[in-house]
Amino acid sequence: MATADPLLRVDNLEVNFGAVRALKGVSLDVYEGEVIALVGANGAGKSTTLRSISGLARAKSGTVAFAGTVINKRTAPQIVRLGIAHSPEGRRLFGGLSVAENLRLGACTRSDPEGVARDTEKMFVLFPILRERWRQLAGTLSGGEQQQLALARALMAAPRLLLLDEPSLGVAPLLVRHIFDALAELKRQGMTMLLVEQNIALALELADRAYVLRTGKVALSGIASELRVDDRVAQAYLGAAE
């Protein structure tokens, strides 16, 4: 799969929040068409990594390069226009706006109305519940429905790279299965994804490769199917803090 340069290259990323060193030099690559899982214990720096890529957090040093362009210093809206969409931790939907309005905003960087309409139909195929809840306020949806809306909203931007933060969090198990089936379908359609996920089993099942973060650094990386049976993964989760 890796024939050309990676679509996303994160190189030695360091991120501080005040005195706290959240990322101490994280490097990873995502090639076009791949699904990369980013796993690790709470506080390992997974969400921070995603936020640094999408522009919500500023790096102290290191680079993030997307399709060859360095994007560290760009603002989040600019990065969306370049082709990265982020479904963030906590979903961050616009609760007072309807499903329709949330999706419309997801597509706000696009200027092709027919494309937007086609993609909306695609969303209904992937997540049929959204058609049912079309006019409902996003804040009144259930956890699983909100997660689907968050994913759909990110997809409406027609991204080349999709960043997903904890899609299974707060979602009933049945719906988690449904969401991951949808993600598998997206993967089949060629979407490149960087997935942060607490549920290692689901993450490694979907992903091609994975990185394991521990206290702000990459502790382990490799092919997903191999990591599934690798003891060191559990150790990275349970290991003592540095």
Summarize as ranges the residues that interact with another protein (CB under 8 A): 54-56, 75-77, 80-81, 86, 88, 92-97, 101, 104-106, 108-109, 153, 157
In whole angstroms, the minimum distance from the beta carbon of 54 to another protein comes to 7
> What is the CB-side half-sphere exposure of residue 150 using CA atoms within 13 A?
27
d(CA 114, CA 239): 51
d(CA 33, CA 5): 12
d(CA 178, CA 155): 17
In whole angstroms, the minimum distance from the beta carbon of 215 to another protein comes to 24
Is residue 1 exposed (0-12), middle (13-18) or buried (19+ Cβ within 10 Å)? exposed
Q: Which is nearer to another protein, 73 or 177 (CB)?
A: 73
CB 52 within 8 A of CB 23: yes
Q: Which is nearer to another protein, 100 or 220 (CB)?
A: 100
In whole angstroms, the minimum distance from the beta carbon of 37 to another protein comes to 21
Q: Which is nearer to another protein, 41 or 100 (CB)?
A: 100
Closest CA to 179 of 216, 206, 158, 209: 206
CB 72 within 8 A of CB 78: no
Q: Which is nearer to another protein, 103 or 207 (CB)?
A: 103
Distance of CA 121 to CAs 35, 128, 136, Å?
Answer: 24, 10, 18
Q: Which is nearer to another protein, 16 or 109 (CB)?
A: 109
Q: Which is nearer to another protein, 3 or 111 (CB)?
A: 111
In whole angstroms, the minimum distance from the beta carbon of 110 to another protein comes to 9
In whole angstroms, the minimum distance from the beta carbon of 49 to another protein comes to 15
In whole angstroms, the minimum distance from the beta carbon of 236 to another protein comes to 29
Closest CA to 174 of 233, 129, 136: 129
Sorted by sequence, the CB contacts under 8 Å of residue 58 that are 6+ apart come out as 15, 52, 72
